[in-house]
Copies of this chain bind each other. A is one copy, B any other.
Amino acid sequence: MIVKKIKHKEDLRSVILEAAKKLFVHEGYEATSIRKIAKEIGFSPTTIYLYYKDKNDIVYALHQVGFGILKERFFPLMAVDNPFERLKALGKLYIQFAFDNPEYYQVMFMMKEPLSFLNSQKENNEWIEGELVIEFLKNTVIECQSKGYFKEMDPIAVTIHAWAAVHGLVSLHVTQHLDCIKDVFDKMETMEEIVYNSFQVLVELMNSSK
């Protein structure tokens, strides 16, 4: 009996998340209000607070969904033996993920709210999702060093640099700051081409560190 109730409670929790996902992906974060989610699932707005602490809690759940998608994409890369090839593939996949899921990217790497929710939790306030991704990147960087790349460089500084370089590219794209300086590069390329060309510079610079 109790189990059944808990299961039902879990059910509505995921129903809320599904509605939030739908609104979030199609209408964007701004348009995803508690009241709209409630209307979507046919319950009153206050019901949502029985399943999620506050809006940040929902945003954190969405951020976890995003990390689920990203991890799924990263999984095949574990099989890539050559660490530098893996590093390049990691960057490419990261950028592609951001282009395919801009709303998820924002909630995962550009918004304070999910982290605020984490900090509001008494226990387990560690950002395990992010740490896992960075850990994977760091290990790849260290492997690259044993192959002669990034000689005499701090592997952590290299890791953060690599992350920041791709994050910088995709976040400037997502916020439309790249589009706004199109006049500076008079060439007629798609935003995706421009971003990948800039990523190529990172790859070439890293390659020449060997």
Contact = CB atoms under 8 A, between A and B. Distances in A.
Contacts of A111: 175
State the number of copies, please: 2
Interface residues on A, range: 35 or more
Contacts of A176: 112, 115
Interface string A133-170: 01100100000000000100110111111011111110
Interface stretch (A42-50, A52-60, A64-72, A180-188): A180-188
A175 B164 CA distance: 13
A169 B131 CA distance: 16
Contacts of A201: 150, 153-154, 157-158, 160-161
Q: Which 8 pairs between the two chains have the least Cβ-Cβ distance?
A: A168-B168, A164-B168, A127-B180, A205-B205, A161-B201, A156-B185, A167-B168, A160-B198
Given A115-B177, A164-B172, A167-B168, 19 more contacts: A109-B172, A110-B110, A110-B171, A115-B175, A118-B180, A127-B180, A131-B181, A134-B184, A157-B201, A159-B184, A161-B165, A161-B198, A161-B201, A163-B168, A163-B172, A165-B202, A168-B169, A171-B171, A208-B209
